[in-house]
Amino acid sequence: MKEYTSDALRNVVLMGHGNSGKTTLSEALLHVSGAISRMGRVEDGNTVSDFDDEERRHVYSISSALIPVEWGSAKINLIDTPGYADFEGEVVAACHATEAAAITVDGSAGVEAGTETAWEHADRARLPRMLLVTRLDREHANFDTVLASLRERFGPRCVPMAIPIGAAGALEGAVDLLSRIARRGEAESEAPAEMADAIAAARDMLFESVAETDDALLERYLEGGEISDEELTQALHNGFAAGVVFPVLPVCATREIGVRTLLDDIVRIFPSPLDRKPDEGSARTADANGPLVAHVFKTTADPFVGHLSFMKILSGKMTAQMQPYNPRARGTERLGHLYVQRGKEQIEVPALVAGDIGVAAKLQDTITGDVLVASAETAVQMPPLPLPVGTYRTALHPHSKEDVDKLSTALHRITEQDPTIRVERDADTHEMIMTTLGEAQAAIAVAHLAKNFGVAVDATMPRVPYRETISARAKAEYRHKKQTGGHGQFGHVVIEIEPLERGSGFEFADSVTGGSVPRQFIPAVEKGILESLPEGPLAHSPLVDLRVRLTDGSSHAVDSSEMAFKLAAAQALKQGVLDANPQLLEPVMRLRVRVPSEHVGDVMSDLSGRRGAVHGVEPDGAWNVIEADVPLAEVQRYGSDLRAITGGRGRFELSFARYVEVPAHVQQQVVQAIESAGAPAH
């Protein structure tokens, strides 16, 4: 692969709803450009983009793939991203490594949840975007219908760049509205005469939107003056780069219809890295003569090459002989080799110029989000990638001691590769909790633990970290007396317990008078109570928010010991709690749900069924944000349910709010379930 200058590069993120034809389109682009001799099929598991075993098994993308395509004098770095919501982090990272977006829209399904999500991601990253109406050879596919729905949903600046010749099974090709040339495969000809009216109407739509971006062109257009194709192309480039014109292109990847037009349009109207203004917080533009700045936006592990760091060169030029400095790790990295990645294939290159995207292997201390610079003196700051926060929690239980020993290291490696995965040990339940964006991402992570790291785990729903407290005062007495020959054991305590305000924790008080409990044994009494707090008598959950006061007791001159008083205190506490109207506490989460307006009623009804308390609904354009408090036990798998209720359009955020008392009927069910399972709640 030859070396390209920054102005000849085009970095494009390909995104859209799942199963809308992104990977097939990537294959068609590679085939038409001559990079591959034949197209693979997603169903056959032999595409360039989907090379991971899990992708082949599930028949959908789980990771973004870099697909460089050489076309004419330009190189297009296409990043094919997953359409499934569980792998949204891949989309976010790719958006921040590119200058433009191409969003696929199924020609028979139209605007779907993933289309809207892709649009929002491009909007947040300030990316100009083109909409590709795909699969137009399918039954019921209709370009005009989809174009109308795009204009209705995203505005009248969605304008056609080409229109198809024929439809569904009779699809033959497409007419480029700029050149008015009909393309059927590699063959070019004049547009069909019978399409003259349709072409004229579509060109008017295109001309009007593009002319509105340039006052001089608009005036000439309104006066009926001629606008040359060159002027229109330049105005379209400017309007597209400014994000005020959104071209719509018909594409059928399996028949390679519209593919050459797409490649031509990317080269002629998409911005190069030189056209992109630096993001807020970034100090560099794509200047090949400037100091080196490279941003690592993705990390993977290759079974043959090892650790791979995908990076966008923001400034300067990176060569394989360099030893760039990592400001976060405060050290230099030895490169050795640089690659251009094509799916799973590494193509070695001597250098990467500003604006290009490439890969370095086996970097020791560099992780996703890091910046590599020429030296410590030229270090710059980059804002962190705005990755989505996971809400799907999975408890991991290793099969064997060997798995236990390897689990932490394996999880560390996985979270390095995918920062949207978080891992922590729950202090209350002592479970290892993995938080992901959804069930599919969790399942893939567990599969990678087994395959890549040899760690076998069971993945279960986490136990709810219940707590126990009391709601009344009580007095308890316990006499520990045991004679086993020789010295016996004797400890006698009398305690009073009372509830404290929520969040107060635990207090111990000593009110013994007259030496009924010798002073040297009082610390043992407190220790016996403290050691009993992690496992309450109601559901084996931690005891909180109570005060225990030692009021009386007795001792034996020979048989009393610290151990005897510890045991007596523990038993007295258990008895006292059971007599003080014990109460189970559960964590309540603050839930913010963002849904289209038409789904507000269904979501609120569902939340009520989950014992939720809705605090308010705030309008947000065509959306509404519902804020509610809901018990954690009711929303551990809320993501899947919300997708079902809203057709995949709902989003939510979850954060801990407080602990509250469990209703009596629910408490009874929880305690019975714990007793039936024969396992503690933690």
The three-state DSSP-derived secondary structure of 575-617 is HHHHHCCEEEEEEEEEEEEEEEHHHHHHHHHHHHHCCCEEEEE
Question: pLDDT exceeding 90 applies to what percent of the chain?
Answer: 65
Measure the CA–CA gap between 359 and 489, rounded to whole angstroms: 70
Q: State pLDDT tens for residues 485-538.
A: 667 899 999 999 999 999 899 999 999 888 889 999 999 999 999 999 999 998
| pLDDT score for 349 | 93
- Give, in order, the Cα–Cα distances in Å from 25 to each of 14, 19, 183: 9, 11, 17
Query: Residue 666 to residues 284, 465, 537, 671: CA-CA distances in angstroms?
Result: 58, 15, 17, 9
pTM of the model: 0.86
CA distances from 653 to 100, 193, 249, 628, 629 (A): 28, 55, 35, 11, 12
Give strand pairing partners of 470: 582
Are 389 and 428 spatial neighbours (Cβ–Cβ below 8 Å)? no
Q: Tell me, what's the pLDDT at 485? A: 64
- Sequence-ordered strand ranges (E) for 153-264: 158-160, 162-165, 173-176, 181-184, 187-190, 246-250
Confidence of residue 185 (pLDDT cuts 50, 70, 90): confident
Least confident piece of the model among 216-230, 274-288, 453-467:
274-288
Q: What is the pLDDT of residue 218?
A: 74
Alpha-helical (H) ranges within 113-180 are 113-124, 143-154
* Cβ-based neighbours of 1, under 8 Å, separated by 6 or more: 68, 70, 75, 340, 347, 349
Instruction: Provide mean pLDDT across the span 210-230.
Output: 76
CATH superfamily of 392-460: Elongation Factor G (Translational Gtpase), domain 3 (3.30.70.870)
In the predicted structure, residue 464 carries a pLDDT above the cut 70 = yes
Q: Is the confidence at residue 103, as pLDDT, over 70? A: yes
The CATH number of the domain covering residues in 6-196+245-269: 3.40.50.300
Q: What is the mean pLDDT of residues 461-482?
A: 94
Mean pLDDT of 97-109: 95
Please name the helix (run of DSSP H) or strand (run of DSSP E) that holds residue 445, with its range, or none: helix 439-453
User: Does position 12 have pLDDT exceeding 50, yes or no?
Assistant: yes
Specify the fold of 468-580: Ribosomal Protein S5; domain 2 (3.30.230)
Q: Please report the pLDDT score of residue 431 as a whole number.
A: 92
pLDDT of residue 174: 93
Beta-bridge partners for 475: 496
Q: Tell me the per-residue pLDDT of 76-100, one tens digit each, with 9 for 90 and over.
A: 999 999 988 889 999 999 999 999 9
With 0-12 / 13-18 / 19 or more C-beta atoms within 10 angstroms meaning exposed / middle / buried, residue 143 is: buried
Question: Do the domains spanning 293-378 and 584-677 agree at the CATH topology level?
Answer: no
Sign of CA dihedral 150, 154, 157, 161: negative
**Nearest Cα to Cα of residue 352 among 338, 362, 369:** 338
Ranges of H-type helices in 242-388: 259-269
- Burial grade of 28 (CB within 10 A; 0-12, 13-18, 19 or more): buried
Q: How confident is the model at residue 126 (pLDDT cuts 50, 70, 90)?
A: very high
Residue 680 has pLDDT above 70, yes or no: no
Helix (H, G, I), strand (E, B) or coil at 425: strand
> Which of 139, 138, 146, 140 is CA-nearest to residue 163?
146
- Token pair of 48 as six digits: 């360039």
Q: What integer is the mean pLDDT of 668-675?
A: 88
Residue 524 is encoded by which pair of tokens? 């043992």
pLDDT tens-place string over residues 351-391: 999 999 999 998 989 999 999 999 888 888 888 889 999 98
- Out of 54-68, 559-573, 600-614, pick the least confident: 54-68
Residue for token pair 């111990």: 508
The CB density around residue 377, as the number of other CB atoms within 10 Å, is 8
Place of tokens 């599969």: 447
What tens digit of pLDDT does each residue of 251-287 get? Answer: 999 999 999 999 999 999 999 999 876 554 444 467 7
Q: What is the pLDDT of residue 283?
A: 41
Q: What is the pLDDT of residue 682?
A: 46
Q: Is 181 helix (H, G, I), strand (E, B) or coil?
A: strand
Pick the CATH number of 293-378 from 2.40.30.10, 1.10.150.530, 1.10.10.10, 2.40.110.10: 2.40.30.10
The CA distances from residue 28 to 50, 164, 252, 267, 391, in Å, are 14, 17, 9, 17, 36
Q: Which residue has the tokens 């060997």?
A: 402
Structure tokens, 158:
């969605």
Extents of the domains making up the chain: 6-196+245-269, 293-378, 392-460, 468-580, 584-677
Across the chain, what does the average pLDDT equal? 90
Q: What is the CATH code of the structural domain delimited by 584-677?
A: 3.30.70.240
Residue from 598, 595, 542, 616 nearest 573 by CA: 542
Cα 249 from Cα 230, distance rounded (Å): 19
